[in-house]
């Protein structure tokens, strides 16, 4: 009598008409839960849980309602953005990086083009710099509103959620009108901008500022002084300044612990040192302090937008170097691709050399001097940096993003362990991780 073959408990096999099929189960989960732990419970929070700001899995070890160990499991939203950039021209890379942190696409673009321009040794026109600053601050407001709205939703303040998304729609409407797209704009290009603003941009900005000045007070009445909101956030997710520095946390997390570290102030770029604004800080180092910092930053962003709009003067929005400037002379059509009849007539009516140059610039791209560079901007979540490596060709050799969501996410165990399982929700919400940026 023959003995049956041994089977792997974690990879049982079965025979089909197409051959042997193996079903592999989660060995890591079984490793975590094996052994004698009478009082310990290990649970999954996610990866579908609505409280995780994207596709994030948290593995929590509990003793009763107390979290004794917390682990984050990432990678569910990986899109290969950084690797894909190696197979595209320097200009096309903007279209990829803008999709990383999908709540702050203009900041991804800003850090990337800032690096490309540093390698090229070019400085963009002043009008383009001011427009970049203005649009980034509009984007910052929209990102913070999503944080406040989703945080309210997760803690049961549904009116805060509906109000936050209502205001965020104002942000997306304005960005769509000014850049052509609600999200993933690809509006910042190496050397400047994809196109200039519409002729009536000032009216739209003024309307936007008026709406926000009339509505921001609602958040103080609805959330800031609300006793239940304060009880759910105060003293929860505590992370003091030494913990922030040890874990590399930046942005509102660091500023909520009392350190006024902001790239716009400590390493000004694109004229930020010429704007009058403050860096809000709190000393509570908890979820409530992070909420207050973000709310105050919205007010400061409105001040910057107003100043930028007043400073904006007519001028070019792309460098004059024809070897780099693309698509500076495109006439953007209804499809957004710049292939209007007027543009075709202009190109075809010029010299053959001009047509060949345009074709090579679009298909092959421009050469970037060999070297490597790291540049960063202050995104809504902290220091967003990009490391670029060039070998002198028309494509990057390496693109790597220092994503604040990824770095800040490692503060989650420090904020959560020792607290209640319900407070993990508040802690993750206060970190405000965007999983598109974490996984890239």
Domains and CATH numbers, the chain: 13-73 (no CATH), 81-326+365-433 (1.10.645.10)
* Ramachandran assignment for 377, one of left (phi > 0), alpha (psi -120 to 50 degrees), beta (any other): beta
Closest CA to 438 of 33, 103, 157: 103
Q: Are 124 and 117 in contact (CB under 8 A)?
A: yes
CA–CA gap between residue 42 and residue 421 (Å, rounded): 12
CA–CA gap between residue 237 and residue 425 (Å, rounded): 10
Alpha-helical runs (H) found in 191-313 = 201-215, 217-219, 227-233, 241-247, 252-255, 263-266, 287-311
CA–CA gap between residue 426 and residue 311 (Å, rounded): 40
One digit per residue, pLDDT tens: the chain, 440 residues?
444 555 555 556 777 776 777 665 555 555 555 555 557 788 888 776 555 566 888 888 888 888 888 888 888 888 889 999 889 988 888 999 998 888 999 999 999 999 999 998 888 899 999 999 999 999 999 999 998 888 888 888 788 888 888 889 989 999 988 888 888 888 898 888 888 888 888 889 999 899 888 888 888 888 888 888 888 888 888 999 988 898 989 989 999 998 888 889 888 999 899 999 999 998 988 889 999 999 999 999 999 999 999 998 888 888 877 777 776 455 555 555 555 566 666 666 666 666 777 777 778 788 889 989 999 999 999 999 999 999 988 889 999 999 999 999 999 989 888 888 888 888 888 888 888 888 88
Which residues on adjacent β-strands are paired with residue 377?
384
Phi, psi angles (nearest 5°) of residue 296: -70, -35
Which residues on adjacent β-strands are paired with residue 13?
22
pTM attached to this predicted model: 0.84
Half-sphere exposure of 99 (CA within 13 A, CB side): 13
Closest CA to 304 of 124, 97, 136: 136
């Amino acid at each position: 009598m023959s003995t049956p073959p041994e089977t792997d408990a974690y990879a049982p096999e079965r025979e089909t008409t197409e051959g042997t099929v193996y079903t592999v189960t989660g060995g890591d989960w079984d490793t975590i839960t094996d052994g004698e732990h009478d009082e310990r419970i290990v649970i999954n929070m996610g990866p579908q849980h609505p409280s995780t700001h994207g596709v994030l899995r948290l593995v929590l070890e509990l003793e009763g309602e107390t979290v004794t160990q917390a682990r984050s499991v990432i990678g569910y939203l990986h899109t290969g953005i950084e690797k894909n950039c190696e197979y595209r021209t320097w200009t096309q890379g903007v279209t990829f990086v803008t999709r990383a942190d999908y709540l702050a696409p203009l900041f991804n673009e800003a850090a990337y083009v800032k690096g490309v321009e540093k390698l090229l040794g070019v400085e963009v026109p002043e009008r383009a710099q001011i427009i970049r600053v203005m649009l980034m601050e509009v984007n910052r407001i929209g990102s913070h509103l999503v944080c406040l709205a989703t945080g309210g939703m997760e803690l049961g303040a549904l009116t805060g959620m509906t109000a936050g998304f209502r205001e965020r729609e104002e942000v997306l409407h304005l960005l769509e009108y000014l850049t052509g797209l609600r999200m993933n704009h690809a509006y910042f290009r190496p050397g400047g901008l994809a196109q200039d603003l519409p002729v009536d941009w000032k009216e739209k900005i003024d309307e936007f500022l008026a709406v926000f000045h009339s509505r921001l007070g609602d958040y103080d009445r609805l959330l800031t002084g609300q006793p239940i909101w304060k009880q759910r956030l105060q003293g929860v997710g505590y992370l003091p300044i030494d913990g922030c520095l040890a874990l590399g946390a930046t942005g509102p997390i660091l500023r909520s612990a009392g350190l006024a570290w902001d790239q716009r102030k400590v390493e000004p770029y694109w004229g930020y040192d010429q704007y009058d604004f403050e860096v809000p800080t709190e000393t509570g180092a908890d979820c409530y302090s992070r909420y207050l910092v973000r709310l105050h930053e919205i007010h400061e962003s409105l001040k910057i937008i107003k100043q930028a709009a007043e400073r904006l003067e007519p001028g070019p929005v792309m460098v004059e170097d024809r070897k780099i400037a693309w698509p500076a002379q495109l006439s953007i059509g209804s499809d957004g691709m710049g292939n209007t009849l007027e543009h075709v007539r202009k190109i075809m009516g010029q010299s053959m050399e001009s047509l060949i140059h345009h074709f090579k610039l679009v298909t092959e791209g421009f050469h970037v001097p060999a070297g490597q560079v790291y540049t960063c901007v202050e995104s809504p979540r902290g220091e967003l940096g990009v490391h670029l490596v060039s070998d002198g060709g028309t494509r990057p050799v390496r693109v790597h993003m220092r994503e604040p969501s990824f770095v800040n996410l490692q503060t989650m165990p420090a904020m959560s362990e020792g607290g209640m399982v319900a407070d993990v929700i508040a802690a993750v919400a206060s970190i405000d991780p965007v999983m598109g940026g974490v996984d890239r």
